[in-house]
Amino acid sequence: MASGVKPRVKVPKTAAAGDVITIKTLISHKMESGNRKDKDGNKIPRSIINRFTCDFNGTNVIDMTMYPAISTNPYVEFQAKVDASGEFKFTWYDDDGDIYEAAKSISVS
């Protein structure tokens, strides 16, 4: 499912060096669990985002494996430590091979 997938990311614009900042991410995705049945009783095949990663200037912040028990429109909130200005890169990996990306830069004083 590649339609209507829109990543949203919230990162503070500025921070002081050494600060721990909170990052919130949300991506619109129906996260079909593979357990549901349609009205004819056929199983709806699984289609989820199975992995999410965040890197800051090439250093990994979080690498999350998602299973079908993650809700529709997966939301993840986590913390990162910033020592210098740079760019956060966010990547979501879909079951069907699609990769969704987002990036946000932060200036650290």
Interaction site with another protein (CB under 8 A)? 20-22, 33, 35-37, 55-57, 59-72, 74-82
- Alpha-carbon distance of 88 to 55, in angstroms, equals 6
Q: How far is the CB of 12 from another protein (least distance, A)?
A: 12
- Alpha-carbon distance of 5 to 102, in angstroms, equals 12
Give burial (CB, 10 Å; 0-12/13-18/19+) of 17.
exposed
Nearer to another protein, 60 or 109 (CB): 60
Q: How far is the CB of 21 from another protein (least distance, A)?
A: 7
Q: How far is the CB of 95 from another protein (least distance, A)?
A: 15
Q: What amino acid occupies position 64?
A: M
